[in-house]
Structure 1
Amino acid sequence: MSAKDWLEKDYYKILGVSKDAKPEQIKKAFRKVARENHPDQHPGDKKAEQRFKEASEANDVLSDPQKRREYDEQRSLFSGGFRFPRGGGSGASDVFSGMGGGDLSDLLGNFFGGGGSGRRSGRGQRAGADIEGEVSISFQQAMDGTTVGVHTISEEACPTCHGTGAKTGTAPRVCPACQGSGTEQTTAGGVFQVSQPCHECGGRGLVIDDPCTTCHGSGRAASSRTIQVRIPAGVADGQRIRIKGKGSPGSNGGPDGDLYVLVRVRPDKVFGRSGDDLTVQVPVSFAEAALGAEIDVPTMGGGSVKLRIPAGTPNGRTFRVRGRGVTKGSKTGDLLVSVEVQVPSTMSPAAAEALRAYADTIAEPNPRAEMLGRKR
């Protein structure tokens, strides 16, 4: 994204959060806007696509502590009197357009140690912005690993002017006022000098006399694409996977940004997860828990394993089956089996009589006696 976006776009307003919003509030707001305006949900709706794109840009900045700090500082710095010009060939999109990706953020980097739209990789180069996508997969896919398509929207070089921002057959010219530096020195308070955008080119270092009719001088255009992403086995719900070089294209020879994929894992009807261990609750009868038994326990990969439960096993006791959990690389977790003692809701007269005889035979003391005694 360009410095024009940083200084003119109110990313807090786009996401509908306050300027002191916590990271989790920003994350929640972005997901809501992205979900409501995702291109897959609104095919052909240009307005929804634009809202999705703006939300992605806002989240890219506000979710990164360093970018957010620089964004706030830059808007505060220029909000007092600096404004982008509007209209005609002297508009903001002309002045700060993308010949080689250089823009006002090059200048602002002198104030804050780097521009906000991408990482610096060398003189005149700028890395592309990172972008984020979200996928939903099943519990089984998370265990086995899978390949999914991630729909992304990012900015790429304008196909008409190839990123120069100038009309075909023309080219930007070096600003005669700042000799291409994009900055000019002024004295603040009569004490020290500071750099500020050149009054002639607005900090671009170049002047575009005849802007491209497609991108209006910005040199950039929105691009929608679907990227096939490999989700590794053992991925956890909420995990972010970085795909290097699959973000927005870099400018002027700079490297491409990265794609971060947020993985959402749908719950399974049988199994749960605790770290690298799988969990499962298995019902056992009262007789099995009291007398002990060998039971079959389901496994994630299909089939079952034998588990011996000892006599007198209480409800809720957990047993560990080694090597039947989540596999991540060369390591595999365990399967944690919790037993649920099933008490019959109905009994035949003969069964009820046998249970009464059992109770009379063992003559158990009142199991609540100690509890009641403490309350007196």
Structure 2
Amino acid sequence: MSKRDYYEILCVERSVTDGELKTAYRRMAMKFHPDRCPDDPAAQEKFKEAKEAYEILSDAQKRALYDQHGHAAFEHGTGGRGGGGFQGDVGDIFGDIFGDIFGGGGRARQQRRGSDLRYVLEIDLEEAVFGVQKEIEIPTLASCGKCKGSGSEDGKVDTCKTCRGQGRVRMQQGIFSLQQACPHCAGSGKAITKPCKTCHGEGRVQDEKTLSVKIPAGVDNGDRIRLTGEGEAGPSGAPAGDLFVEVSVREHKIFQREGDDLFCEAPIRFSQAALGSELNVPTLEGDTVIKIPAETQTGMLFRLRGKGVKSVRSSRTGDLICRVVVETPVKLTKRQRELLEEFESSFADSPGGTHTPRASSFVDGVKEFWNRMTG
């Protein structure tokens, strides 16, 4: 069966840049990596294809040869699928790209640590401001209890016969000689003669665990809490990855947060705005009173110092900023309507602009505009 085009495998154009190529491979690897699809042979085959394609296209010399001669440029080596010679450790190149996400760079005898996990935790604004203790349940790969993570039924391991304990093998690829992690022992230099029947030699099994997470006061959307060693267990007893708990704060009915400051809107009657008043304003620590001066206009801001959020990164505490909105009364009684009509008629005897400066300036601006247009 003819081999697929490397660019087609990675879903990229032939003009792809190195950065775009790396991103495309990362996307494919994350989707089809054997650790994520242990029971899906088709996914594992797609991962091998993507890995082989990336190994060629990420090397400038090999890519130039491939662009000129296609697969024929690499059909004179030994071993490997289609003469390609790229049957090495599936974590070797993958680890080089992702660093500690799936383990190290595939050096000889280096253990590949477990995958890091990400968990999105939704909390209320009050919990984010004051801190909270939460319990979470996460599915994960845990160390096999039967073999204690070794992957061996009897606890015994032998020297890998393929690499003779070196953890690395040399592969001939056309005119190139490549050294990579041993495909049989994954670079450890050791081989299991009697695999554990529970984990099938992997050293880890599917599990679910409950963790207690302490959320510090002052966290905000997107903040992450790292729980070291609480990610997936590494294969064959390798160290576990980490768990990153990402905070997502639910929308609040009253307050909006911006940095360490809180914002809210408070409706007031126009009589309160005109005559002045005292207004109860909610805060996260209880109600407080602000004085509304006479002749207050809608949109005026009142700042309450220290009533915001104490920063998780410093000792600073933000403010609560209250925006007043003058509300038009509804469902008036007959007497209220009469009073308003009397109130409105009283403006007829007042000089223009005395009581409504903004309206008067608006009218004057409109007149000036039309004079310029028609003048």
TM tier relative to shorter chain: 0.5 to 0.7
Structure 1 counterpart of 2:167, which letter?
A: G
Q: Unaligned regions of 5+ residues in structure 2, if any?
A: 1-8, 12-19, 38-48, 58-70, 72-78, 82-86, 354-359
CA contact (8 A) 1:104 1:203 kept: no
**Equivalent in the alignment of 1:368:** 363
**Equivalent in the alignment of 1:153:** 139
Alpha-carbon distance, 1:164 to partner = 2.6
Alpha-carbon distance in structure 2 between the residues aligned to 1:232 and 1:275? 16
Alpha-carbon distance in structure 2 between the residues aligned to 1:359 and 1:22? 72
CA contact (8 A) 1:153 1:222 kept: yes
**Equivalent in the alignment of 2:14:** none
Question: What percentage of aligned pairs have identical amino acids?
Answer: 33
Alpha-carbon distance in structure 2 between the residues aligned to 1:340 and 1:258? 48
TM-score of the superposed pair, with normalisation by structure 2 = 0.66
Structure 2 counterpart of 1:118, which letter?
A: G
RMSD, matched Cα: 4.1
- Which is higher, the Rg of structure 1 or of structure 2? 2
Give CA-to-partner distance per residue, 1:103-137, whole Å, 9 cap, x none: 753x5489769575125799644443221112211
Give CA-to-partner distance per residue, 1:184-234, whole Å, 9 cap, x none: 2234443x5211454766756333343222222222212211111011112
- The aligned length equals 299
Map 1:117-132; keep pairs closer than 5 Å.
Answer: 117-119=102-104, 124-132=110-118
Higher relative CO (CA 8 A, sep ≥ 6), structure 1 or 2? 1
* Counterparts in 2 of 1:142 and 1:121: CA distance versus 1, 3 Å: farther
Alpha-carbon distance in structure 2 between the residues aligned to 1:189 and 1:121? 23
* Counterparts in 2 of 1:202 and 1:253: CA distance versus 1, 3 Å: closer
Alpha-carbon distance, 1:169 to partner = 2.8
1:246 to 202, 211, 230: 230
Map 1:1-376; keep pairs closer than 5 Å.
Answer: 54=36, 76-77=54-55, 82=80, 105=91, 107-108=92-93, 117-119=102-104, 124-166=110-152, 168-169=153-154, 171-190=156-175, 192-198=176-182, 205-249=189-233, 255-304=239-288, 306-328=289-311, 330-345=315-330, 346=332, 347-358=336-347, 360-364=349-353, 365=360, 367-371=362-366, 373-374=368-369, 376=373
Alpha-carbon distance in structure 2 between the residues aligned to 1:112 and 1:268? 40
Alpha-carbon distance, 1:275 to partner = 1.1
Alpha-carbon distance, 1:159 to partner = 1.9
Alpha-carbon distance in structure 1 between the residues aligned to 2:23 and 2:271? 54
Alpha-carbon distance in structure 1 between the residues aligned to 2:141 and 2:165? 25
Q: Unaligned regions of 5+ residues in structure 1, if any?
A: 1-9, 13-18, 34-52, 56-70, 84-94, 97-102
Q: Per the alignment, in what secondary structure is the counterpart of residue 336 of structure 1?
A: strand
Alpha-carbon distance, 1:260 to partner = 0.9
* Counterparts in 2 of 1:353 and 1:20: CA distance versus 1, 3 Å: farther
